[in-house]
Amino acid sequence: MKKSIYISSLLALFAAPVFAQDIHFSQFYMSPLTLNPAMAGAQHEIQTLFNYKSQWQSVTNPYKTLGFSYDMRLNRKKDEKGIIAAGINFFSDRAGDGKMGTTQANLSLSYHARLNSDNLLGGGLQAGYFQRSLNFSALYWGSQYDGTSFNTSYISGEPVNGTSNFSAPDFGAGIAWTYDNSANSNSVTGDNDLKFNLGLSAMHVNQPGYSFYQAEGKLPMKYTVHGTGLIGMKNSNLAFVPGFMYMKQGDAQEIYAGTLLRYTMGMDSKYTGFKNGAALSLGGFMRAKDALSAVVMFEYANYSMGFSYDINTSGLTAASNGRGGIEIALRFISPNPFLGKKSVSSFN
């Protein structure tokens, strides 16, 4: 019963006109356009990603998030002074007993100037539209607790002008720097690969209304600093693939960092005779005061699959028993990043 009261209180807070926070994926490097519109075309000529996250199943109805994104470079000649790229991304989120949901679609446009053969510096803009919904009839409120259980015949005391759905436009912008010492060479092998990506974005710059009540409840701007990399170890098939992310939105902030250890192996295709390449990465990340994430990723030719599990370490452990949630990410990129190379980054 205490757990039910606790979760109902959390849902009430989410439904009220308070500061709201965005979705986030533990494998943030597998959902680039939710971080920064400048990531469109920053790392690959063509990239398609699918994301699935389920969390808090041990506490209440699972919070489920689905995501999809596609981005591509519109001009691919290496002698161009810059890269023009576009991307689309979509996500749908459903949370708790009230099925509080957010569905959003975005279009991103970016331009990346070639500083030299290894460096790109780009900027991007994003325009989108979202819809939020909530099933008020499925919620229980503190005023409806009769001492032993929740009694729906009791008046909730909530404003009668509550609405079950609304929609609004949403805009964002960002910049990104990309370094890749093998971007214009097929001679770089895994033991001297060096890749970095660093970005800064501001999302919800128009601060759209985000309250289910007819009151002033704006979605605060979200500022994100993120980075990933690959550092190949000489004379080895191993590489470190570190990453970090810092987000600030209203009074909330998130600090998330960690690394994977990646082992690259060559795999001959019996059909084509070419080496398709494969890699296995293991590691973990820490979200400050919230969770530890264990991560495993497998890559083969153009395809990647990542799996992570969050172990809750926050104050919610009393209800979650440490169980956070699972996340699965699938990616297709073109061209095959292993061709002519010994390794390629899990993040790049």
- Best CA proximity match to 27, nearest among 223, 344, 258: 258
Q: What angle do CA 122, 248, 124 make, to 5 degrees?
A: 20
3-class SS of residue 144 = helix
Q: Which two tokens stand for residue 253?
A: 């902030």
User: Does the pLDDT at position 342 exceed 70?
Assistant: no
32 φ, ψ (degrees, to nearest 5): -65, -35
Segments of 79-164 assigned E as strands = 82-95, 100-114, 119-133
Residue 41 lies in a domain: yes
Helix then strand then coil, in percent of the chain rounded to 5, is 10, 50, 40
Q: What is the pLDDT, as a whole number, of residue 22? A: 77
Residue 94 lies in a domain: yes
Residue 340 lies in a domain: no
The rounded radius of gyration (Å) of the Cα atoms in the chain is: 22
Of the two residues 73 and 97, the one the predictor is more confident about is 73
Residue 175 lies in a domain: yes
Residue 161 lies in a domain: no
What is the percent of the chain with per-residue pLDDT over 90, rounded to a whole number?
52
Residue 343 lies in a domain: no
Mean pLDDT of the chain: 82
Q: What is the pLDDT, as a whole number, of residue 314? A: 67
**pLDDT-based confidence at 9, cuts 50/70/90?**
very low
3-class SS of residue 113 = strand
Residue 345 lies in a domain: no
Residue 348 lies in a domain: no
Summarize pLDDT for 146-202 with one digit per residue, the tens: 777 777 777 776 665 556 788 999 999 999 999 998 766 554 555 578 999 999 999
Q: DSSP string of 254-302? A: EEEEEEEEEEEE--B-TTT-SB--EEEEEEEEEETTTEEEEEEEEEETT
| pTM for the whole structure | 0.83
For residues 283 and 281, what is the distance between their CA atoms, to the nearest angstrom?
A: 7
Into how many domains does the chain fold?
1
**pLDDT-based confidence at 210, cuts 50/70/90?**
confident
> In CATH, what number is assigned to the domain containing residue 76?
2.40.160.40
Domain span holding position 215: 2-156+166-334
Q: Which two tokens stand for residue 82?
A: 């810059």
